[in-house]
Amino acid sequence: DAMVIQNPRYQVTQFGKPVTLSCSQTLNHNVMYWYQQKSSQAPKLLFHYYDKDFNNEADTPDNFQSRRPNTSFCFLDIRSPGLGDAAMYLCATSRGRGLYNEQFFGPGTRLTVL
Amino acid sequence: GEDVEQSLFLSVREGDSSVINCTYTDSSSTYLYWYKQEPGAGLQLLTYIFSNMDMKQDQRLTVLLNKKDKHLSLRIADTQTGDSAIYFCAETSNNNDMRFGAGTRLTVKP
């Protein structure tokens, strides 16, 4: 089945220690998104790629970076995680942007910062 | 900025109907969505409605859209314990990204 896969499902890191979260998709979608979701809050868009074009949200901290080496994979790098970065990180994909852009979500990676 | 708002909690008894409400402010919203998130999982698209529709039914789910009042609702008939989850309303318009509400936590009591 076509899907959005996130690895690992649970990640524990230490304060200040760089961490990378992974997302892959078999949908061949052009757009890949990274969201941060804290408890009882709406998912917050960090950035997205449309093909190779990177689009950062204005309020995304510099501590968060992303890479998309090919259509299938997208990575979220947190350079120096702080306690406030503990959250669920959701990856999503869509065929395109515009009038109809249903997003397909992965199961998420729950990040704990010690 | 434009907002999507939902009440945070809803509790119903098994077998009753649940109605989850959502309001939005962007009058150019084109598609409106309902996503379901079970504990520890990602978001699962339940249903969506295009802004030129006022109702959509899919098995136990009924979506009602009042475009004049910018009000969207999701009705779940014969609610089951497996329906316990957080339900997110979301909207998108043209090239805008998807905007989510904060989610309504539905608790179904036996």
Residue B40: pLDDT band by 50, 70, 90 thresholds?
A: confident
**DSSP readout, A10-49?**
EEEE-TT--EEEEEEESS--SEEEEEEE-TTS--EEEEEE
Q: Do B42 and A101 touch (CB under 8 A)?
A: no
pLDDT tens for B64-91 read 999 999 999 999 999 999 999 999 999 8
Tokens in use for A114? 């010690």
Average pLDDT of span B39-48: 88
From A105's Cα to the closest Cα of chain B, the distance in A is: 6
Q: Do B103 and A6 touch (CB under 8 A)?
A: no
The whole-angstrom separation of Cα B93 and Cα B30 is: 5
Give every CB contact of residue A1 below 8 A, 6+ residues apart in sequence: none
Which residue of chain A is at minimal alpha-carbon distance from B96? A98
A contact set with B (CB within 8 A): 4, 6, 33, 40-43, 45, 48, 90, 92, 97-108, 110
Residues of B in contact with A96 (CB under 8 A): none
pLDDT tens for A52-74 read 999 998 899 999 999 999 999 99
The whole-angstrom separation of Cα A56 and Cα B11 is: 38
Q: Do B33 and A107 touch (CB under 8 A)?
A: no
- Whether the Cβ atoms of residue A14 and residue A113 lie closer than 8 Å to each other: yes
Tokens in use for A65? 């970076």
Give every CB contact of residue A61 below 8 A, 6+ residues apart in sequence: none
| pLDDT-above-70 percentage for chain B | 95
Residues of B in contact with A41 (CB under 8 A): 102-103
Q: Do B8 and A40 touch (CB under 8 A)?
A: yes
Facing B30 at nearest CB: one of A99, A107, A110: A99
Number of H helices, E strands in chain B: 0, 11
- Whether the Cβ atoms of residue A84 and residue A112 lie closer than 8 Å to each other: no
Q: Do A40 and B43 touch (CB under 8 A)?
A: no
- Whether the Cβ atoms of residue A38 and residue A87 lie closer than 8 Å to each other: yes
Tokens in use for B38? 């079970």
Query: Which 3-state string (H, E, C) describes B55-71?
Result: EEEECCEEEEEECCCCE
Residues (pLDDT < 70) of chain A are 1-2, 98-100
